Amino acid sequence: MNKRMHIEVRGCVQGVGFRPTVYRYAVEAGLSGFVLNALSGVIIEVEGPPARVRQFLVRLRQAPPPQARIDALEAREVPVRGDAGLFVISRSERSGDVAAGMPPDLATCGDCRRELFDPADRRYRYAFINCTNCGPRFTIIRSLPYDRLRTSMVGFPMCRACEAEYTDPRDRRFDAQPNACAACGPRLTLRDERGGEVPGDPIAETARLLERGHTVAVKGLGGFHLACRADDSQAVERLRRDKARPHKALAVMFSSVEQVRNHCRTTPEIEAFLERPAHPIVILPRRPNSTLSPLISPDTDDVGVFLPYTPVHLLLLREIGPLVMTSANRTEEPIISDFAELVPDILGRAAHFALDHDRPIVRRCDDSVVMFAAGAPFPIRRSRGYVPTPVKLPVTGAAVLACGAELKNTFCVTRDSDAFLSQHVGDLTEWAACRFYESAVRDLVALLGVRPAVVAHDLHPDYLSTRFARRVRLAPLLGVQHHHAHIAACLAENGRQGPAIGVALDGTGYGPDGTVWGGEFLEASLASYRRAARFEWLRLPGGDAAVKHPVRIALSLLVAAFGSDEGARLAAELLPGLNEKDRAVLLQVLRVSHRSPNTSSAGRLFDAVSALLGLCDTITYEGQAAIRLQTAAERAGVRPAPAPVELATGSEVAVVSFAPLVRRLVRARRTGADIREMAALFHATVAGAVVRTCSMLREQTGLEEVVLSGGVFQNSLLTGWTTEALATAGFRIWRHRQVPPNDAGVCYGQAAVALAEHTLKH
Ligand code: ZN
Ligand code: ZN
Ligand code: FE
């Protein structure tokens, strides 16, 4: 007797070669039935002898296609139909709820790479080669379910050869939505700054321009890059000047892992990471003998490295490389995705040529960036290659829209226990980023087909994300404290709900007491928190304006540690970046409390110490002073014993003071001690202060789990030392792995808090 099963599969099961695999397994088992893409995932019916149906299910569970992720597989028996040995792939069904899980963009796979460089292959050197295992997805999808008609490939009718592959279930391009070839698909055009086509082979011509030191805008998956030779300091210097980006590190694309190895220190684990389908930028230590221009990352000994992830990159990097590849945008604005947007700010200024193509980018998406600390990877930007794959939450409930923070903004939308984080949006103080933010929110909500029941936002009333939440009023609002969101994010991605000791070392976050928070020890669970300890207040002379001038905060640090007169005298001696007039004005400002708000920010402490050590007076990008401080500490090559800190436990919130350290640093500077060792001492002392405060809280509360979050933990040296010291003290440590510790992770934490609170109320 035959048996028929109806099977529904959820997860990331569309755009990853799922149906052809199902087809192959069914045909090989001699089963009849069908498979189709539905909004809820993939639906399968198989009919045949019970033993073979069972084997089919086992095989599908154990060996799904490599890029697929099965979250749920439900099978139930249905009446037999007797469709006798025929298995078909049916057309997509457009009904039901959207749970199919959109696939992220996938780097060109090994099979396609081989064909790309095989002169006998019909796609030899075709710049848009792809298959069911690789190619664009998120950046070309207009709506779900994922089908060619609903992608930006709709404008490219397939030729007969492509159509034959596309419709043959045994072909590795069966149902590959972006399938194309030189006869029918998108094509490359090299354009000059007036948009005119440059004659000749676009790849060869682009390589020639790069070779001669030009900057060329190159259209990729989620937007344009600006490319130039990475070993040509003149070219890099010109790119920096034209892009008004004097110091911030530039990413470098290498042709192969072997080439990376010649310039950077790697491990087998890191190399495997570089080659994953997401192909993120990975921050690696540069070898001293590397021939890369030192201007690529003047503030650090690290360099952001990635491998070619589209056929265009593969073709180009075979001709010339390594190449600087930096997003084509105006500072902190969204990446440019269309040729027309390049004019007038980029084309004609930073670049005079653009390697363009005619496959429209539906969704902008920047490259992702991953860092390693103490051997473990964590993202500092989670975007291309990861988005829109959801991050699991340990709580579930009605849909939440979480609006995120302000800088490095991302937002997220939840459905059940899945959090769909957006791609990198950028700095919401920029008008263009705000526009992108609003359209991206509407886009993701529409794509997922959810109706948010709660809108979570930061407590900061002036964040544009908060104002957006208030203005659109999609659902009842829930304000979430910034550092509670950071800690909740780290708890949630580790599947924890707390309570735990949350250590949020961060730049700036709105505190409910009206001060600026940022060096916080919270007794926290997802649903609630108590501020248990904080870093001692530091006064920001002139408020937010001081953030751009660490030297001003250093003055404040000196005044706090030595008093106004002695502090002023020391500033004259140690802070030459502050002229006499500015110093006098700032000393006045420091006397007026409302003009010099208090902050417990750890980020500002790093800035101030960096300036105090003469490493950075004024910044040209966020985090610069801290990065220089970290680099100095790394160059010391030692790990000093931590200096003592003062821990005042008298009041409800304990206070950690670094005044003894500041006095020691000042003494050391005056006696001409090694700046690098002082930088290392500072890092060791902050790590020591975290352990000491956590130990005190462990005694108070009995909590033994520590959660580390906040932008300061992008500092891999601090993260490594803190983790080790906490482990030695017997704590169980949770760190970020999937979501950034910086403000790009805040939206996910807001969502976790909102769901936890919601669950408690019901
Ligand atoms: Zn492929
Ligand atoms: Zn074709
Ligand atoms: Fe933050």
376 lies in a domain?
Answer: no
Number of residues that this document lists for the chain: 762
Q: Do 673 and 598 lie in a common domain?
A: yes
Say if residue 231's pLDDT is above 60.
yes
pLDDT bucket at 88, cuts 50 / 70 / 90: confident
Domain assignment of residue 723, yes or no: no
- How far is it, in rounded angstroms, from Cα 612 to Cα 589? 19
Say how many Å lie between the CA of residue 130 and the centre of ligand 2.
12
How far does residue 540's CA lie from ligand 2's centre (Å)?
A: 62
Distance 184 CA to ligand 2 centre (A): 4
57/196 same-domain check: no
Same domain, 334 and 424: no
- Residue 38 belongs to domain with CATH number: 3.30.70.100
618 in the same domain as 634: yes
CA 701 to ligand 1 centroid distance, Å: 54
Distance CA 561, CA 664 (A): 11
Q: How far does residue 449's CA lie from ligand 3's centre (Å)?
A: 30
Ligand 1 center from residue 215 Cα (angstroms): 29
106 shares a domain with 240 = no
| pLDDT tens digits along 356-373 | 999 999 999 999 999 999
Distance 159 CA to ligand 2 centre (A): 4
Cα(166) to ligand 2 centroid in Å equals: 10
Residue 687 belongs to domain spanning: 535-702
Q: Which ligand is nearest to the CA of 136?
A: 1
C-alpha 78 – ligand 3 centre gap (Å): 52
Here the CATH number for the domain that contains residue 659 is 3.30.420.40
- Residue 423: CATH number of its domain: 3.30.420.360
For range 400-410, the mean pLDDT: 95
On whether residue 638 sits in a domain, the answer given is yes
Q: Is residue 526 part of a domain?
A: no
Q: Tell me how far the alpha carbon of residue 139 lies from the centroid of ligand 2, in angstroms.
A: 21
Query: How many angstroms is it from 601 CA to the middle of ligand 3?
Result: 10
Q: How many domains does the chain have?
A: 5
Same domain, 140 and 275: no
Alpha-carbon distance 99 to 620, whole Å? 43
* 129 Cα to the center of ligand 1, angstroms: 7
Average pLDDT over residues 33-52: 90
Residue 721 domain flag? no
* 519 inside domain: no
Distance CA 271, CA 281 (A): 12
Same structural domain for residues 155 and 192? Answer: no
Summarize pLDDT for 408-448 with one digit per residue, the tens. Answer: 999 999 998 999 999 999 888 877 888 899 999 999 998 88
CA of 133 to the centre of ligand 1 (A): 5
**Token pair for residue 165?**
């592959």
pLDDT in tens, 518-577: 999 999 999 999 999 999 999 999 988 899 999 999 999 999 999 999 999 999 999 999
**Ligand 3 centroid – CA 710 distance (Å):** 5
Q: Are residues 217 and 342 in the same domain?
A: yes
Do you find a cis peptide bond into 344, omega within 30 degrees of 0?
yes
Q: Are residues 30 and 143 in the same domain?
A: no
Give the ligand whose atoms come closest to the C-alpha of residue 164: 2
Ligand nearest to the CA of 602: 3
Residues 6+ apart with CB under 8 A from 28: none
Residue 307 lies in a domain: yes
- Whole-prediction pTM: 0.93
**Based on the domain organization, do 330 and 345 belong to the same domain?**
yes
Domain boundary among 48, 81, 98: 98
Task: Tell me the pLDDT tens digit for each residue of 203-215.
Answer: 999 999 999 999 9
CB of 721 closer than 8 Å to CB of 682: no
Of the candidates 98, 133, 166, which is a domain's last residue? 98
pLDDT cut 70: percent of the chain above it: 98
Where does the pLDDT of residue 449 fall: very low under 50, low under 70, confident under 90, or very high at 90 and above?
confident
Q: How far apart are CA 42 and CA 270, in angstroms?
A: 34
Q: Does position 490 have pLDDT exceeding 60, yes or no? A: yes
Count Cβ atoms below 10 Å from residue 714 Cβ, excluding itself: 23
What's the token pair of residue 184?
A: 């029918």
pLDDT band at 101 (very low <50, low <70, confident <90, very high): low
Tell me if residue 341 falls in helix, strand or coil: helix
Examine residue 115 and state whether it is found in any structural domain, yes or no: yes
Measured from the Cβ of residue 608, the count of other Cβ atoms closer than 10 Å reads: 28
Domain end position, chosen among 98, 114, 148: 98
Does residue 162 share a domain with residue 193?
A: no
C-alpha of residue 134 to centroid of ligand 1, in Å: 4
CA 574/CA 490 separation, integer angstroms: 39
Q: Do 453 and 393 belong to one domain?
A: yes
Distance, CA of 328 to chain centre:
17
Mean pLDDT of the chain: 93
**Is-contact 421 410, C-beta < 8 A?**
yes
User: Which tokens belong to 82?
Assistant: 């007797």
The pocket of ion ligand 3, defined by CB under 5 A, consists of 506, 743
The ligand that comes nearest to the alpha carbon of residue 165 is 2
- pLDDT category, 94, cuts 50, 70, 90? low
